[in-house]
């Protein structure tokens, strides 16, 4: 059983770790994969596995891979958010295991988001998709 004070400590600690707005420059980079039914059906599991493997292979100990639920844009799944401390969140859409290596190399290691995989790019190309 946790006391009210202990719960509050967990809240503060976790908020810092989640670093949603990137305010803690020393935090870990977080890769968060949408793993609700819509994401999984679109192939989120192998994407998540791909991130875990690639990050282990490169020995990136400051990167964690996690999961989340459905953000609502089910047609763009699998979706992956990359939270980089100090620079906020970038959302990748229609992810595949093949795209993972580039996101890890260019964004996570070199700090350059892969623009063409992001939601911004997907929305711009929307009309040509169809």
Residues that bind another protein (CB under 8 A): 1-2, 4, 7, 10-11, 13-15, 18, 20, 22-26, 32, 34, 36-37, 40, 66-75, 79, 81, 85-91, 106, 110-113, 115, 118-121, 123, 126, 130
Closest contact distance (angstroms) between CB of 122 and another protein is 8
Q: Which two tokens stand for residue 105?
A: 């190399």
Q: How far apart are CA 64 and CA 3, in angstroms?
A: 28
Q: Within 31-96, where are the H helices?
A: 37-42, 44-57
Of 48 and 100, which CB lies nearer to another protein in the complex structure?
48
The distance of Cα 59 from the centroid of its chain, to the nearest Å, equals 18
Which residue number, 85 or 97, has a Cβ lying nearer to another protein? 85
Q: How far is the CB of 55 from another protein (least distance, A)?
A: 16
In the complex, the smallest distance separating the C-beta of residue 71 from another protein, rounded to whole angstroms, is 3
Q: What is the enclosing helix (H) or strand (E) of 14?
A: helix 4-18
CB atoms within 10 A of CB 16: 12
Q: How far is the CB of 4 from another protein (least distance, A)?
A: 6
Q: Which is nearer to another protein, 21 or 96 (CB)?
A: 21
Ranges assigned E (strand) in 1-130: 29-34, 63-68, 80-84, 88-92
């Amino acid at each position: 059983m946790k006391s009210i004070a202990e719960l509050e400590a967990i809240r503060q600690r976790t908020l810092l770790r989640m670093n949603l707005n990137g305010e803690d420059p020393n935090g870990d980079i977080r890769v968060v994969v949408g793993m609700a039914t819509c994401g999984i059906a679109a192939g989120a599991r192998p994407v998540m596995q791909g991130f875990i493997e690639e990050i282990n292979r490169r020995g990136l100990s400051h990167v964690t891979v996690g999961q989340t639920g459905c953000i609502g844009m089910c047609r763009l799944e699998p979706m992956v958010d990359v939270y980089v401390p100090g620079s906020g969140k970038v959302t990748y859409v229609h992810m595949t295991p093949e795209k993972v290596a580039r996101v890890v190399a260019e964004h996570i290691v070199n700090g350059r988001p892969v623009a063409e995989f992001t939601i911004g790019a997907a929305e711009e190309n929307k009309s040509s998709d169809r």
